[in-house]
Amino acid sequence: MKLIDLHCDALYISAMRNIHLNDSSLETKLASDDDNKLECYAIWLPDDLDGDTAEEMFYSAAHRIKNECDKCNIKLLNSGKNLTSSFLSNTNSAFFTVENALALNRKIENVRRFSKLGVKIMTLTWNAHNHIGDGSNVEKPVGITPFGKQVVAEMEKYGIIIDISHASEKLFYDVAEISRKPFVATHSDSRTVTPHRRNLTDEQLKIIKDRNGLVGLNFHNAFLNIEPDRASVYDILRHTEHFYHSVVKMLLH
């Protein structure tokens, strides 16, 4: 089986606990010899970090993921063009991604530097406000900042995919207005199924679909079910079916 996980926090946990990416204590596992998997390993930058610390954490993670992939026999991909050959050869592979553009530390030149270090996807915010815009927990979002507009343009220029998971609605629509390339929501569910601010409305889903973007499901219980303690695999199927049937309806119209 060929699997793609658009967002995995194992890199952050690996760095914090100083354990390997294939450690059994992590919330993910590599595929077997008969299967293969692409993991998008994200380095998460908590909202309470200052910019200098976030930037330092990023560069440390860039060094770590290269070493970890070498040790764990994971092919760290430089581009999407490598993915087909990796799947054909049943090789576990990885993309390096960033969760929270706080890592840029207000330096526009870091977008180019991140790209050269292999970053393929960057989540613009986490839950709070940063120098790009507002996260989903901001009560009175103001949308994208002037610096954020520069970052969006630079990300598209250097081939880093924009991820709007965790973005406020205002930031989402600002990105949709100014971006020119497909963007993604790497780990967001349907707000129609579960009315949580981290989930996507049907209108947002349509915009991502119309832009040829992707949506990856989030398995966190609070996003799957309005009663988190009751969340189950059934809820994953409910969100999957809603996204699937919504897209089919869009294509038929």
Q: Would residue 219 count as lying in a domain?
A: no
Q: Would residue 194 count as lying in a domain?
A: no
Q: Would residue 252 count as lying in a domain?
A: no
Q: Would residue 146 count as lying in a domain?
A: yes
Q: Would residue 253 count as lying in a domain?
A: no
CATH number at residue 9: 3.20.20.140
Average pLDDT of the chain to the nearest whole number: 94
Q: Would residue 215 count as lying in a domain?
A: no
**Domain, as residue range, for 84:** 2-187
- The pairing of strands 93-99 and 75-76 is parallel
In the chain, the percentage of residues whose pLDDT exceeds 70 is 96
Q: Would residue 193 count as lying in a domain?
A: no
Residue 91 in tokens: 């090789």
Write the pLDDT tens digit of every residue in 204-253. Answer: 999 999 999 999 999 999 999 999 999 999 999 999 999 999 998 888 87
Q: Record the pTM.
A: 0.95
Domain count, the chain: 1
**CA 222 to chain CA mean position, Å:** 18
Write the pLDDT tens digit of every residue in 181-209. Answer: 999 999 999 999 999 999 999 999 999 99
Q: Would residue 199 count as lying in a domain?
A: no
Three-state DSSP at 251 gives: helix
- In eight-state DSSP terms, residue 190 is B
